[in-house]
Amino acid sequence: MEMGKYELFMVILIVSGGYGFVDGLRMDYYFMMNCPFADGIVKNIVNRHLQADPTLAAALVRMHFHDCFVQGCDASVLIDSTKDNTAEKDSPANLSLRGYEIIDEVKEQLEIQCPGVVSCADILALAARDAVFFAGGPVYDIPKGRKDGTRSRIEDTINLPPPTLNSSELIRLFGQRGFTAQEMVALSGAHTLGVARCSSFKHRLSNFDSTHDVDPTLDAQFAKTLSKRCTSDKSEQAFDTTKDTFDNDYYNALQRNTGVLFSDQTLYNNPRTRGIVNAYAFNQAMFFLDFQQAMLKMGLLDVKEGSKGEVRANCRIIN
């Protein structure tokens, strides 16, 4: 079942509280700030890069998540390290992040059009939204007006969920950030895009640890495929069979016990979340609806407003 324009419009209104304020943010923020083309500039640059390299869609969505789960959605993940401070982007959990050059290009163009107006945090949120749509996922609008944070420290990335967590641990961790179990499973569906590195799933394979057998939650034939693929820590395996397309195949993979990460497969193995996985595997429209609502909610995590943040002139450097 395809979502009609009216239903989608209602989703945006319900989640955003209409055209008014959402935690101080507004859908029409950049119109009010005399920068009406901000959305279009982000979309055009993101689409151009993704046409050249579709794998960047997964990268932009992942970067937004890694930003929001650490100190909130404040673009702290974009800040470069200095001799006095090791920033978030140099954490082991963030070393595989990509797409910084896209954000830089967008920021450069926006500074020409509207100097000092559009935050890096908003650019990152908009780029993730456009990446989802470009890859075939749902279209949705997001409120704008986030400010950029002035803190980025490697130790803060301890808040990022590692791929070894089980479903109960994920429910607890996401619950601490205000998400329900269903919203956590919906957000996990972002893994319909992209790949995982061997370093994040090799512990599930017996040939990498002689003290353990193959993870029993892993399909035996798929385990052999992963073992052959996993020739080094940087070897990659797609999360599902359509790695550059935003669809519900990720959930179908979990039903087949071919989830690449333990933290993915555990969503199907736990009776508390299995029904949600089955529902999304059966009904892509339901997944799209729940995903966009969860993404809108995630984009509001600990946003900085007013004097609590700034609009960086360069996304990599604090003003």
Consult the annotation and say whether 7 binds a ligand. Answer: no
End-to-end distance of the chain based on CA atoms, in angstroms?
A: 48
Considering the candidates 64, 66, 203, 212, report the single residue annotated as catalytic: 66
Is residue 70 a known part of a binding site? yes
148 is in an annotated binding site: no
The answer to the question of whether 191 is labelled as a binding residue is yes
- 240 labelled ligand-binding: yes
Q: Which residues are registered as beta bridge partners of 26?
A: 21, 144
Dihedrals phi, psi of 205, to nearest 5 degrees? -110, 130
137 is in an annotated binding site: no
Residue 242 annotated as binding? yes
| Whether 66 is catalytic | yes
State the DSSP string of the chain.
Answer: -PPPHHHHHHHHHHHHTTTSEETTEETTHHHHTT-TTHHHHHHHHHHHHHHH-TTHHHHHHHHHHHHHTTTSSSSGGGPPPBTTB--GGGSGGGTT---HHHHHHHHHHHHHHSTTTS-HHHHHHHHHHHHHHHTT-------B--BB-S---GGGGGGSPPTT--HHHHHHHHHHTT--HHHHHHHHGGGGSSEEEGGGTGGGSGGG-TTSPPPTTS-HHHHHHHHHH-SSTT-EEESSS-TTS-SSHHHHHHHTT--SSHHHHHHHHSHHHHHHHHHHHH-HHHHHHHHHHHHHHHTTTT-B-GGG-B--SBTTB--
290 annotated as a binding-site residue: no
Which residue ranges make up the annotated binding site for heme b?
A: 191
Which residue ranges make up the annotated binding site for substrate?
A: 161
Which residue ranges make up the annotated binding site for Ca(2+)?
A: 67, 70, 72, 74, 76, 88, 192, 240, 242, 247
Which residue ranges make up the annotated binding site?
A: 67, 70, 72, 74, 76, 88, 161, 191-192, 240, 242, 247
Active site residues: 66
